[in-house]
């Protein structure tokens, strides 16, 4: 109906003639008609499937292992046959059948491992599903396969149990490095959402896992990981794909800033060396130069490089001031550039509440705190009003 309404508007505006509108309507009507499966056939197939499942469940323990594996593989092949029929005859959803096929393969692998008393702690099963889902994505380009690949990638981390310990094997390192390389390749060759986000998240989690599993005793690894991923933007070929990735970087930086602010207020000591704090500042300067030249919306993540040095300040006041200034400047900058203020305002309010509960809960009366917050909001409103008036004055001149 929305398409037909637009067509009528374009026809009345003289953008389309009546003959073109009639051809478009005929084409849309033809392609909207789908072949429907009889309802009784669907009900009958459903009961047959439930009967088979209940029979298998009741006799599962006495079925030989090879028969179990064969049954699951038959289900997998049947799902792909149904997916092909669904795609050619435009009935039901072929994506759902292929997802069921992937799950059937997962079931076959689990049955095989259990039947032959193999260990489930290995990442082999997760690797098979991960590669299979990625193959589905690059063949059919549907977001559902990207979701399955992302979940399987997360499970690969749990399969590398001994990585980073004295019992770490060459296979552990190989699995970890391969996951990073494949995630980078996925990021580069997909160039579409949500695959860009999923592959970026896998790389971020890989960075966190790496620092954790190699027994890194510091607490700055989330910032190091975020800085290391900034050059990844060089692989994005289309400019219009970057704003959502910018938001991903900024949201991650905002979460990190709140976590560091909360942890610092409750901790007087931390495994941070002065050398590492200085190196983080230098890394922030290097990343900041790249951001200033190519990706200026990400400049708000650069101040996180000061967290290491500010940790040595005993009262943690400078840390609170840093986060406050970041939230305030980001809010003003978004208003100045004409963007929506919902997310910046939520972040700003969250910072205020965090600062209150950490620093002022036992020191300041709640009424005074809210009075101070109201005055601060009025100040921000005045600054935003002044900026808006100045901009409107410049446009009218």
Per-residue CA distances from 367 to 242, 287, 348, 370, 371 (Å): 43, 42, 19, 5, 6
pLDDT (mean) for 269-296:
89
Q: Using omega within 30 degrees of 0 as the cis cutoff, is the peptide bond preceding 194 cis?
A: yes
**Between 337 and 154, residue with greater pLDDT:** 154
134 vs 31, residue with greater confidence: 134
Other C-beta atoms closer than 10 Å to the C-beta of 209 total 20
Q: Is it the case that residue 169 has pLDDT exceeding 70?
A: no
Residue 178 phi, psi (nearest 5)? -65, -40
Is the Cα dihedral 64, 66, 72, 77 positive or negative? Answer: negative
As a whole number, mean pLDDT of residues 276-288 equals: 93
Helix (H) / strand (E) element for 329: namely helix 317-336
Residue 251 pLDDT > 90, yes or no?
yes
Distance of alpha carbon 173 from alpha carbon 295, whole angstroms: 33
Q: Is residue 61's pLDDT more than 50?
A: yes
Closest by CA position to 352, among listed 339, 369, 329, 365: 369
Round to whole Å and give the CA distance between 344 and 235: 28
Q: Residue 285: what pLDDT? A: 95
pLDDT at 227: 95
* Mean pLDDT of the region 134-153: 91
In this predicted structure, what is the pLDDT of residue 34?
A: 52
Residues 6+ apart with CB under 8 A from 49: none
Residue 150 has pLDDT above 90, yes or no: yes
pLDDT of residue 166: 47
pLDDT in tens, 202-227: 999 988 888 777 777 788 889 999 99
pLDDT at 27 over 60: yes
286 vs 210, higher pLDDT: 286
Q: What is the pLDDT of residues 173-196, one digit of tens each?
A: 788 889 999 999 999 998 888 899
Neighbours of 108 (CB within 10 A): 20
pLDDT at 115 over 80: no
Mean pLDDT of 42-71: 72
Residue pair 299/292 in contact (Cβ under 8 Å)? The answer is yes
Q: How confident is the model at residue 164 (pLDDT cuts 50, 70, 90)?
A: very low
Over residues 67-95, the mean pLDDT reads: 82
Confidence of residue 16 (pLDDT cuts 50, 70, 90): confident
List phi, psi (to 5°) of 264. Answer: -65, -35
Mean pLDDT, rounded, for 296-319 = 87
Residue 305 — very low, low, confident or very high, per pLDDT cuts 50/70/90? Answer: very high
Rounded alpha-carbon distances, angstroms, from residue 42 to 49, 77, 91, 100, 397: 11, 20, 12, 18, 69
* Burial (Cβ within 10 Å: 0-12, 13-18, ≥19) of residue 21: middle
Closest CA to 329 of 309, 299, 353: 299
Assign 331 a pLDDT band (cuts: 50, 70, 90): confident
| Higher local confidence (pLDDT), 282 or 91 | 282
Q: What is the pLDDT of residue 288?
A: 93
What gap in Å lies between CA 7 and CA 15, rounded to an integer? 9
Give how far Cα 177 sits from Cα of 41, 123, 146, 220, 393, Å: 50, 13, 20, 22, 56
Quote the pLDDT of residue 374: 65
Task: Tell whether the model's pLDDT for residue 324 goes beyond 50.
Answer: yes
Q: What is the dihedral of CA 48, 51, 52, 58, to 10 degrees?
A: 180
pLDDT at 165 over 60: no
230: pLDDT confidence band, cut at 50, 70 and 90? very high
Instruction: Kindly state the average pLDDT of the residues 231-241.
Output: 87
φ, ψ of residue 394 to 5 degrees: the values are: -65, -35
Residue 37 has pLDDT above 70, yes or no: no
Q: What pLDDT score was predicted for residue 162?
A: 47
Q: Which residue has the higher pLDDT, 141 or 282?
A: 282
259, pLDDT greater than 60: yes
The string over 117-154, giving b where at least 16 C-beta atoms fall within 10 Å of a residue's C-beta and e elsewhere, is eeeeeebbbbbbbbebbbebbeeeeeebbbbbbbebbe
pLDDT at position 58: 73
Please give the mean pLDDT across all residues of the chain. Answer: 80
């Amino acid at each position: 109906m929305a398409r037909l309404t637009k067509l009528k508007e374009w026809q009345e505006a003289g953008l389309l003639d009546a003959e073109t509108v009639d051809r478009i309507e005929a084409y849309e009507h033809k392609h909207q008609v789908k072949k429907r499966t009889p309802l009784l056939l669907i009900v009958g197939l459903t009961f047959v499937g439930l009967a088979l499942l209940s029979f298998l469940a009741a006799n599962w323990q006495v079925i030989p292992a090879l028969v179990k594996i064969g049954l699951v593989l038959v289900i997998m092949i049947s799902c792909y046959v149904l997916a092909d029929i669904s795609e050619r005859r435009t009935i039901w959803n072929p994506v759902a059948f292929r997802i069921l096929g992937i799950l059937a393969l997962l079931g076959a692998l689990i049955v095989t491992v259990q039947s032959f008393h193999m260990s489930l702690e290995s990442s082999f099963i997760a690797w098979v599903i991960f590669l299979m889902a990625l193959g589905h994505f690059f063949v059919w380009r549907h977001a559902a396969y990207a979701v399955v690949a992302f979940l399987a990638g997360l499970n690969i981390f749990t399969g590398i149990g001994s990585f980073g310990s004295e019992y770490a094997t060459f296979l552990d390192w190989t699995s970890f490095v391969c996951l990073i390389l494949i995630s980078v390749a996925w990021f580069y060759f997909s160039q579409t959402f949500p695959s860009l986000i999923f592959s970026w998240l896998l790389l971020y989690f890989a960075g966190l896992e790496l620092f954790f599993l190699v027994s890194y005793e510091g607490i700055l690894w989330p910032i190091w990981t975020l800085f290391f991923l900034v050059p990844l933007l060089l692989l994005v070929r289309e400019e219009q794909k970057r704003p959502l990735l910018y938001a991903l970087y900024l949201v991650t930086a905002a979460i990190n800033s709140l976590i560091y602010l909360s942890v610092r207020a409750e901790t007087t000591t931390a495994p941070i060396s002065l050398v590492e704090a200085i190196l983080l500042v230098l890394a922030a300067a290097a990343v900041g130069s790249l951001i200033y030249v190519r990706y200026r919306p990400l400049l708000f993540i650069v101040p996180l490089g000061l967290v290491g040095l500010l940790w040595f300040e005993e009262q943690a006041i400078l840390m609170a001031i840093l986060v406050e200034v970041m939230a305030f400047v980001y809010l003003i900058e978004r208003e100045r550039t004409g963007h929506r203020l919902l997310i910046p305002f939520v972040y700003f309010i969250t910072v205020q509440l965090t600062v209150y509960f950490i620093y002022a809960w036992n020191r300041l009366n709640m009424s005074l705190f809210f009075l101070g917050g109201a005055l601060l909001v009025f100040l921000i409103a005045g600054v935003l009003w002044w900026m808006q008036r100045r901009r409107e004055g410049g446009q009218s001149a």
